Amino acid sequence: MRITEFRVTPIAFGDPPVRAAFGLHAPYALRTIVELVTDDGLSGVSETHGGAAVVADLEAIRELVLGRDPFQLASLEAQIWSSGARYGAPTTTPWEGKLSSPPRTFAAVEVACLDLIGKTTGRPVCDLLGGAVRERVPFSAYLFYKHAGAGGPFGFGPDPQATTGWPLARQQEALSAEALVSQAQAMCAEYGFQSLKLKAGVLPPDEEVRTIRLLREAFGPHTPLRIDPNTAWSLETSVRCGEQLAGLLEYYEDPVAGKEQMAELARRCPIPLATNMCCVSFADLPETIRLGSVQIILGDHHFWGGLRASVELARICRTWGIGMSMHSNSHLGISLAAMTHLAAAVPNLTYACDTHYPWQSEEIIVGGKWRFEGGSLTVPKGPGLGVELDREALARMHEQYLAAGLSHRDDELEMQKVEPGWRRMVPRW
Amino acid sequence: MRITEFRVTPIAFGDPPVRAAFGLHAPYALRTIVELVTDDGLSGVSETHGGAAVVADLEAIRELVLGRDPFQLASLEAQIWSSGARYGAPTTTPWEGKLSSPPRTFAAVEVACLDLIGKTTGRPVCDLLGGAVRERVPFSAYLFYKHAGAGGPFGFGPDPQATTGWPLARQQEALSAEALVSQAQAMCAEYGFQSLKLKAGVLPPDEEVRTIRLLREAFGPHTPLRIDPNTAWSLETSVRCGEQLAGLLEYYEDPVAGKEQMAELARRCPIPLATNMCCVSFADLPETIRLGSVQIILGDHHFWGGLRASVELARICRTWGIGMSMHSNSHLGISLAAMTHLAAAVPNLTYACDTHYPWQSEEIIVGGKWRFEGGSLTVPKGPGLGVELDREALARMHEQYLAAGLSHRDDELEMQKVEPGWRRMVPRW
């Protein structure tokens, strides 16, 4: 089995104007779809980050991919690293700009290869990772402060067809604690999520703490809650808010910037700390562990180097007694499939996974959107990832990419369109 | 695909009277052969440590194995751990007695499952571990001080059929530096090994240091040399010998006992330290790394929890900048196949692997002994491990196991037969 075609297609899909410490989501989110075709007629697919630099990174390894047997992954990874690592590419948010390109580039190909391997062996991808230890994967409700608007072609306006339930709630403004509770109730009514994550670092910290308190009141004492200020808080603010949030949170995600400050906060705060910002690569692990910066790492196969690397990360977390959760960017159903197979195979991924998926109304896989039951997804039992690319949707979203005119994610710029002169600040409070 | 048969066969094979700090090898070495048969008629095989406790551990998980799909490895591993870990079983040498049973028990089944998966997918086992990054795996010459004798039915006597070359040299006494050089020359003439490992902790340290010096003279300045006193040396002796050995060694393996003393030695000795004694499980890693006990870990899939766990260990070593080599016990060709596939797939396994294989004259695989070229083995390209069990040899070696009357390895007891009252001492010098 040899790879004969390597297709890299940048796409854009509608994304509502949600807020984070980085700024504001643009009307379109960017992703990249990778397709591999083999000489025996199989095709494998994956989804990764979006934008011009991601596409360029993938195009740069075309000759390493074509002609390759999809099982030969370790050599591909080594060749990508030796072909030149690039750090700090100005492709995405400041946070994502810290990611190194080789693991992301390799991961995009690795997942498509595992889809191929699954198809040629008749096995779901989770079986290529050691087999499923759970049949259903729980996800959390990802709550955002946001401006009014449905995103995509509607921008800050409502989608006229979305008039009830979560589709309506998704486009409504939510810039207060009370509005966030309504958002959470609508999302959970639709998806059945059993745990809640609040994207914070947007409103003054006291309002965000009040949001957690109201969520606790609305959802009762047993619903796990998380807050993620994305390093918008100072150490002192993080300590002070931590005192107020103690007993209310499952974990406290990246309130403060950097391994050193996270370690200092860990000493002064009774809540377990989590990160997908101060530890985003294997190279970050020795210092993170030595300093004791976090108790939980949010993995993400898209930038940790793929599904097998994520299983290896899970072994490291088990070995050092670090908990595991899963990070998400705006994504479609191919990423969700990969995340679900991975989560099924990792015994110590005991926290519900993050997903932006409810915020997206478009889909790129045949059969439309994944359906959640009780906040969980059933692990697909078919060969490979268990999803099929909708070529019509791919073509449409590629057209949207070209029309959107966005070469990279820039939440700060989008925010400046709403508030001229707005700048991301670390810390803001 | 379901496992319908699970055969566990203890075997014994002839082993010459080689010495180590633990004592003396018995005339027969013990191993255990695991066979899995599936409902579609495939069979997978593996080889692990020997003796009654190892067999009992495997028999204890019979119900977890039967009926299982061989791809479901993560759940099997978790079930074995939760069915009760046992540490310090009095089955083997003091060193091996520190090993925990769950990873060893799981590994024996995992390797046979990977053999099955390879066979059902038509792929060599290395392809199930990420693919080969090297086509040939180098091994080192494993040199032992020894008493005269061929082992097996000949005990301390010579095998009358082995009259020339390495088969003759293998049975000759070697209890001096000069005799070790002759042994090394005979072994390298036969196998072409490019690096040498001296099992030490047997003669007074000055004689062992002299052996290294003579090996350096005999094999020239570019042949990597290692010495392994198996914790028979005190810290002061290790420091003193380290000064004498500086510039002569590739690495210095377990001269002194325990993570703390190894860390202290690392501060006082210019030679990279290696271990397969103070760090033998994932649970050992945090302290080993925190203390800086070693620069090189000798992995061993038989007790680290299998081939996939060994790939995970390799990721940990890459992440923390620790080198990787591979440990060996007395073994036959099934273990050698698994070791070779693993070594082929691990990019950072850059040291030649240890193997006791030249010391064994019997074999349990069809086609007889593996053939080395230039000290290396070519990675098998056939499905699975690429070896087939010789059922006649299996039956014969099982008979030998029953006749030998050994329930576990006890090098101290064997040594006492030669030197009454001999005891292992840590340290001896």
Query: Are residues A46 and A108 in contact, defined by beta-carbon separation less than 8 angstroms?
Result: yes
Would the pLDDT of A270 be above 60? yes
**pLDDT 10s digits, B34-46:** 999 999 999 999 9
Say which of B119, B199, B259, B301 is annotated catalytic: B199
d(CA B323, CA A349): 29
Residue range A171-226, pLDDT digits in tens: 999 999 999 999 999 999 999 999 999 999 999 999 999 999 999 999 999 999 99
Fold of A3-125+390-403: Enolase-like; domain 1 (3.30.390)
Do A127 and B316 make contact, defined as CB atoms within 8 angstroms?
Answer: no
Q: Is B72 an 8 Å CB contact of chain A?
A: yes
Cα separation, A408 vs A91, in Å, equals 5
* 8 Å CB contact of B315 and A320: no
- Closest residue of A to B68, CA-based? A131
* Nearest partner of A239 among A214, A264, A257, A258, judged by Cα: A264
Contact A318 B347 (CB under 8 A): no
Q: What's the rounded Cα separation, in Å, for the pair A97 and B291?
A: 34
Neighbour tally for A160: CB within 10 Å? 8
Sequence-distant (6+) residues with CB within 8 A of A247 are none
pLDDT band at B90 (very low <50, low <70, confident <90, very high): very low
- How many whole angstroms separate alpha carbon A31 and alpha carbon A408? 10
What distances in angstroms separate CA A3 from CA A63, A70, B40, one per listed residue? 11, 7, 30
Optimal mutation site among A1, A315, A318, A349, interface B, most CBs of chain B within 10 A: A315
Q: Chain B within 8 Å of A71 (Cβ-Cβ)?
A: yes
| B82: contact with A, CB 8 A cutoff | no
Q: Are A138 and A375 in contact (CB under 8 A)?
A: yes
Residue B155 makes CB contacts below 8 A (sequence gap 6+) with B17, B27, B149
According to DSSP, the residues that pair with A18 across neighbouring strands are A146
N- to C-terminal Cα separation, chain B: 55
B381 close contact with A: CB closer than 8 A: no
Contact A75 B121 (CB under 8 A): no
Q: How many residues does chain B have?
A: 429
Q: What is the rounded average pLDDT of the residues B241-256?
A: 98
Q: What are phi and psi of B180, to 5 degrees?
A: -65, -40
- Give the minimum alpha-carbon distance from A326 to chain B in angstroms, rounded to a whole number: 19
- Against a cut of 0.80, is the pTM above it? yes
- Average pLDDT over every residue of A299-313: 97
Which of B77, B78, B316 lies closest to A316 in CB terms?
B316
CA distances from A221 to A141, A226, A248 (A): 16, 13, 8
Residue A346 pLDDT level (bands cut at 50, 70, 90): very high
A275 forms beta bridges with A297
Amino acid B314: pLDDT? 98
Q: Is the ipTM of this complex over 0.90?
A: yes
Decide: B324 and B317 in contact? Cβ < 8 Å: yes
State the Cα–Cα distance between residues A132 and A379, nearest whole angstrom: 8
Question: Which pLDDT score, from 0 to 100, does residue A90 have?
Answer: 41
Given a cut of 70, whether residue B81 has pLDDT beyond it is yes
Q: Rounded distance, CA B8 to CA B102, Å?
A: 16
> Is residue B26 within 8 Å of residue B415, measured between CB atoms?
no
Selecting from A71, A123, A347 the residue whose C-beta is nearest the C-beta of B74 gives: A347
* Domain ranges within chain B, ordered by starting residue: 3-125+390-403, 128-378
Q: B309 to chain A: which residues are within 8 Å by CB?
A: 315
> Ramachandran region of residue B218, left (φ > 0), alpha (ψ -120 to 50) or beta?
alpha
Question: Is B199 tagged catalytic?
Answer: yes
Catalytic residues of A: 199, 327
Domain A128-378: assigned CATH number: 3.20.20.120
B72·A347 Cβ contact <8 A = no
| Contact between residue B387 and residue B380 where contact means Cβ atoms under 8 Å apart | yes
Name the 3-class secondary structure at B380.
coil
Task: Convert the pLDDT of each residue in A117-134 to its tens digit.
Answer: 999 999 999 999 999 999
For residue A318, list chain B residues with Cβ-Cβ distance below 8 A: 282
Mean pLDDT of chain A: 95
Other beta carbons within 10 Å of B274: 29
CB A251 within 8 A of CB A325: yes
What is the distance in angstroms between the Cα of B318 and the nearest Cα belonging to chain A? 9
Give B72's contacts in chain A (Cβ within 8 Å).
Answer: 127, 131-132
Cβ-based neighbours of B247, under 8 Å, separated by 6 or more? none
Q: Is pLDDT above 70 for B99?
A: no
Q: B318 to chain A: which residues are within 8 Å by CB?
A: 282
C-beta separation of A381 from A348 below 8 A: no
The β-bridge relationship of strands A296-299 and A273-275 is parallel
Sequence-distant (≥ 6) Cβ neighbours of residue A72 within 8 angstroms: B127, B131, B132
With beta carbons less than 8 A apart as the criterion, state whether B229 and B212 touch: no
Q: Residue B100's pLDDT is what?
A: 73
A133 Cβ under 8 Å from any chain B Cβ: yes
Check CB contact of A345 with chain B, cutoff 8 Å: yes
